[in-house]
Amino acid sequence: MKSLLIALLVVALSHQVTSQSLGICVKTPIIKDFNSTRYLGKWYEIERFNYLFEPPNLDCVVATYGYLNETAVTVNNIAFNLKTNKTTGRNGYAYIPNLAAPNKLSVVLPIELYNVTFFQNEGPYEVLETDYETYALVYSCTQVVYDLVKLEVVWILSRKPTMDEKEIDYLKQRTASYKLDTSKFFRINQNCGY
Ligand SMILES: *[C@@H]1O[C@H](CO)[C@@H](O)[C@H](O)[C@H]1NC(C)=O
Ligand SMILES: *[C@@H]1O[C@H](CO)[C@@H](O)[C@H](O)[C@H]1NC(C)=O
Ligand SMILES: *[C@@H]1O[C@H](CO)[C@@H](O)[C@H](O)[C@H]1NC(C)=O
Ligand SMILES: *[C@@H]1O[C@H](CO)[C@@H](O)[C@H](O)[C@H]1NC(C)=O
């Protein structure tokens, strides 16, 4: 009976958000010489997995990171909401919990769902790969139900509003090399002029 209930819950959760999926978060590599200062500045979302806190009605998502202190950065996210035709923004910060793994940050942002800000969410932000100057591949995964259901996102980010298809394909291959499901990616419009 209990396992049936859990199975139903899992099915319900999995259907709710496509990126909520079965399994365990992937262990990602440590980039020992990751330099958060070089990572600062503006990043355009080119593709991302569909997930709960960033629904597909958000276009032109741009994240800007600024210097806060040695181990933390400010986070400013802006996006265009296609349902309301309005530009929305969220401000927060990110910090490096473990200096031995400087590419693994934790982001603290207010969560807005159905137009209501109801809590501060803290989530992982792991830079898988970046050259700082053109692209970044970022992974965030939270185990929603222990060992069973995960909320998983990968972002392909660019310093420019556009990215060559070849580069996008390459980053998808890199994503697949971490055993992540590249079929969950979808393209983000970046035509809002900011
Ligand atoms: C990180 O990058 C900044 C800006 O390029 C540079 O000044 C700094 O020395 C770098 N830090 C390390 C530890 O390499
Ligand atoms: C850096 O800023 C973060 C976020 O506000 C804070 O938690 C942390 O204590 C600060 N670290 C230092 C060394 O000031
Ligand atoms: C948003 O803009 C589009 C295109 O201009 C329009 O078709 C749509 O009705 C608008 N939606 C709202 C909620 O204003
Ligand atoms: C959502 O929030 C905006 C800005 O606070 C407000 O103008 C709008 O009426 C709200 N929409 C709904 C559906 O509550």
Ligand 2 pocket: which residues have CB below 6 Å? 68-72, 93, 95
Taking the centre of ligand 4 as the mean of its atom positions, its distance from the CA of residue 115, in whole angstroms, is 6
Ligand 1 pocket: which residues have CB below 6 Å? 35, 37-38
Ligand 3 contacts CB of residue 85 (under 6 A) = yes
- In the chain, the domains with their CATH numbers are 17-187 (2.40.128.20)
| 13: three-class secondary structure by DSSP | helix
pTM over the 0.85 mark: no
Q: What is the DSSP string of 158-189?
A: ESSS---HHHHHHHHHHHHHTT--GGGEEE--
| Amino acid at the residue 171 | L
pLDDT tens per residue across all 194 residues of the chain = 444 444 444 444 444 444 567 889 999 999 999 999 999 999 999 999 876 555 668 899 999 999 999 899 999 999 999 889 999 888 999 999 999 999 999 999 887 666 676 677 899 999 999 999 999 999 999 988 888 888 899 999 999 999 999 999 999 999 999 999 999 999 999 999 88
Point out the ligand nearest to the CA of residue 94. Answer: 2
Ligand 3 contacts CB of residue 86 (under 6 A) = no
